[in-house]
């Protein structure tokens, strides 16, 4: 692909990506807190209402983090951020949550994939940018439960945000391979802090990160001692070890929390090693199959010529595709191990989402490795030569490249349209509703038909009413929501005064009980 054509394709893909983000950010202005946002904001919202001091709110969040560590759960870095949900400063500021969550995921994902393809596979900058944009775009558009990943602060800051930081950390570690001693020292400090904080987040991300960092440190030691790599230098080894130790320290502090035992007793005993093993690998296979829906399959099929060209150019031998597949699958499956061991078959959607996100990395890596094996082993065969010559002819002609790009985009859009399901909505009997829409399409539909605006107005009115009620009025009823727009709606209170969703809202507004009419 000529450099000028590559640059043009990059800007076309970039334009598509930016346009796709616009409805995601716009609908974020209509998002509101939900369930655990209220529970974890109970103390900090009181401090803000009493003092209007950001410093006091941050201090309260730190104090509550310590309290939670002792009585409920040990994920210290996540708990600290959970209590700072933007809605405590006023419901109108909750839009900051999706702004942070969408931006951090998009930026970290693109930076990670760009770094991988630029620094590991040595593609040029524009090609690396095209691939990074494409993978990030598809993973966001096909997100399984977008409300839990981008619009519900409590759940998304716990999982999606720290998963995004993990991608950032991996990108920094890759860049460290070729860094000077001074740059390595700076990257070690930044990466060590990131690793420690991620270690104190959700256990799926923390455990996976610790395993990867331990393997990375071990590989660095192996390469330096046996001189198997001319890139990694001796001064890199202590850096990788320090970062791995910081990650493990964060995870250990989180696991050692007294509150973990209290929480575990409330959900029952652990599942056991054998069942955990079975659940872990079963869900790993299920999650890969779930991710590989029609649009995703079309995407990866379209990427095969690109990945083949990348793999063929590298000097890596690609000798063990099956062994690498088994090893990376086990590594990928480890993300589900903590929750299966602690709670059995009860995995929240917000956690499923980051495992689905990780599936894209797993599929990309193994697809490239397999194509590299094909290139090294069968690259001179007639059938492979015929196919590569066909795509080689396309690469040499700019017009053919644009036609191929248009075909790929149309195929992806067609697959997305074919995956859409139409059925009756849950909350309006007789009305048709759409599901399995790409994320941007779902956001645009809710904006166009007015559901997002009505949802925002109803929850804003509810918030104002609850804030205006007298302290003596402890039992309050509010109207039920008439709209539940995708992708911003997560959940709401019910007409059952004893529902735990209602209890969280009541605590937040200092009421005895709140329920819908």
Model pLDDT, residue 463: 97
- List phi, psi (to 5°) of 200: -95, 15
Per-residue burial over 343-370, b if 16 or more Cβ lie within 10 Å, else e, is ebeebebbbbbbbbbbbbbbbbbbbbbb
pLDDT tens-digit series, residues 302-330: 999 999 999 998 888 899 999 999 999 99
Confidence check: pLDDT of 406 > 60: yes
Beta-carbon contacts of 394 under 8 Å, excluding residues fewer than 6 positions away, are 305, 400, 401, 404
pLDDT at 430 over 60: no
Q: How confident is the model at residue 458 (pLDDT cuts 50, 70, 90)?
A: very high
Flag whether pLDDT at 389 surpasses 70. no
Neighbours of 508 (CB within 10 A): 23
Q: At 387, is the pLDDT very low, low, confident or very high (cuts 50, 70, 90)?
A: low
The pLDDT assigned to 361 comes to 97
pLDDT value at position 383?
72
What is the DSSP-derived secondary structure letter of residue 481? P
pLDDT (0 to 100) of residue 286: 96
Specify the range with the lowest mean pLDDT, choosing from 123-127, 189-193, 221-225: 221-225
User: Looking at the DSSP assignment, which residues form a beta bridge with residue 478?
Assistant: 516
At 356, is the pLDDT very low, low, confident or very high (cuts 50, 70, 90)?
very high
The span from the CA of 445 to the CA of 451, in Å, is 8
Is pLDDT of 225 > 90?
Answer: no
Q: Whose structure tokens read 């060590």?
A: 192
β-pair partners for 423:
433
Among candidate residues 20, 4, 9, 2, the one with its CA nearest the CA of residue 438: 20
Contact call for residues 467 and 512 (beta carbons, < 8 A): no
Give pLDDT, residue 132: 98
Q: Give tens-digit pLDDT for 145-204.
A: 999 999 999 999 999 999 999 999 999 999 999 999 999 999 999 999 999 999 999 999
Is the pLDDT at 91 greater than 60, yes or no? yes
Tell me the mean pLDDT in the region 48-61. 97
pLDDT value at position 227? 75
Distance (Å, whole) CA 366 – CA 311 = 11
- Tell me, what's the pLDDT at 343? 86
For residue 298, what pLDDT is reported?
Answer: 97
Across the range 412-418, mean pLDDT stands at 95
| Selected residue with higher pLDDT from 384 and 179 | 179
Whole-structure pTM value: 0.95
- Average pLDDT of the residues in 202-224: 95
Q: pLDDT tens digit string along 80-89?
A: 999 999 999 9
318: left (phi over 0), alpha (psi -120 to 50) or beta: left
Range in 158-172, 252-266, 359-373, 477-491 with the lowest mean pLDDT:
252-266
User: Would you state the pLDDT for residue 431?
Assistant: 64
What is the distance between the alpha carbons of residues 479 and 494, in angstroms, rounded to a whole number? 10
Domain ranges of the chain: 449-516
In the prediction, which pLDDT does 478 show? 97
* pLDDT band, residue 340 (cuts 50/70/90): very high
Predicted confidence band of residue 108 (pLDDT cuts 50, 70, 90): very high
Q: Which residue has the higher pLDDT, 270 or 442?
A: 442
Q: What's residue 505's pLDDT?
A: 97
Q: What is the mean pLDDT of the chain?
A: 93
Average pLDDT score over residue span 344-350: 89
* Rounded percentage of the chain residues whose pLDDT exceeds 90: 82
């Amino acid at each position: 692909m000529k450099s000028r054509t590559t640059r043009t394709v990059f800007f076309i893909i970039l334009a598509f990506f930016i346009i796709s983000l616009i409805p995601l950010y716009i609908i974020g202005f209509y998002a509101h807190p939900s369930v655990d946002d209220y529970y974890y904001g109970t103390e900090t919202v009181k401090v803000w209402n009493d003092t209007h001091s950001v410093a006091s709110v941050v201090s309260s969040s730190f104090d509550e983090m310590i309290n939670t560590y002792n009585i409920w759960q040990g994920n210290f870095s996540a708990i600290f951020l959970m209590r700072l949900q933007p809605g405590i400063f006023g419901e109108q500021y909750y839009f900051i949550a999706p702004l942070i969550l969408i931006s951090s995921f998009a930026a970290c994902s693109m930076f990670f994939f760009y770094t991988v393809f630029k620094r590991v596979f040595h593609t040029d900058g524009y090609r690396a940018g095209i691939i990074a944009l494409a993978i990030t775009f598809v993973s966001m558009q096909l997100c399984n439960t977008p409300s839990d990943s981008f619009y519900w602060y409590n759940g998304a800051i716990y999982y999606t945000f720290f998963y995004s930081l993990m991608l950032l950390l991996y990108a920094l570690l890759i860049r460290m391979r070729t860094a000077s001693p001074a740059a390595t020292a700076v990257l070690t400090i930044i990466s060590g802090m990131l690793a420690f904080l991620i270690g104190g987040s959700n256990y799926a991300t923390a455990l996976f990160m610790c395993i990867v960092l331990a393997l990375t440190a071990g590989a660095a030691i192996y390469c330096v001692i046996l001189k198997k790599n001319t890139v990694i230098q001796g001064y890199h080894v202590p850096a990788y070890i320090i970062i791995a130790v910081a990650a493990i320290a964060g995870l250990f502090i989180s696991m050692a929390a007294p509150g973990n035992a209290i929480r575990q007793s409330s959900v029952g005993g652990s599942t056991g090693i054998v069942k955990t093993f079975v659940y872990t690998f079963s869900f790993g296979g299920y999650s890969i199959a779930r991710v590989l829906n029609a649009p995703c399959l079309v995407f990866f099929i379209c990427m095969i010529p690109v990945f083949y060209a990348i793999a063929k150019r590298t000097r890596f031998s690609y000798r063990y595709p099956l062994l690498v597949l088994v090893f990376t699958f086990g590594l990928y499956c480890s993300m589900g191990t903590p929750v299966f061991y602690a709670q059995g078959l009860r995995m929240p959607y917000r956690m499923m989402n980051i495992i689905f996100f990780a599936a894209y990395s797993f599929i990309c890596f193994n697809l490239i490795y397999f194509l590299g094996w094909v290139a090294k082993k069968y690259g001179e065969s007639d059938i492979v030569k015929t196919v590569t010559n066909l795509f080689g002819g396309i690469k040499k002609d700019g017009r053919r490249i644009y036609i191929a790009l248009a075909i790929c985009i149309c195929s992806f859009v067609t697959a997305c349209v074919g995956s859409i399901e139409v059925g009756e909505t849950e909350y309006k009997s007789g009305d048709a509703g759409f599901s399995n829409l790409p994320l941007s399409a779902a956001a645009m539909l809710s904006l166009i038909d007015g559901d997002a605006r009505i949802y925002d107005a109803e929850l804003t009115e509810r918030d104002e009413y609850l804030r205006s009620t007298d302290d003596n009025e402890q039992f309050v009823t509010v109207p039920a929501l008439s709209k539940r727009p995708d992708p911003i709606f997560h959940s709401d209170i019910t007409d059952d005064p004893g529902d735990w969703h209602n209890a969280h809202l009541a605590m937040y507004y200092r009421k005895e009980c709140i329920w819908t009419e």
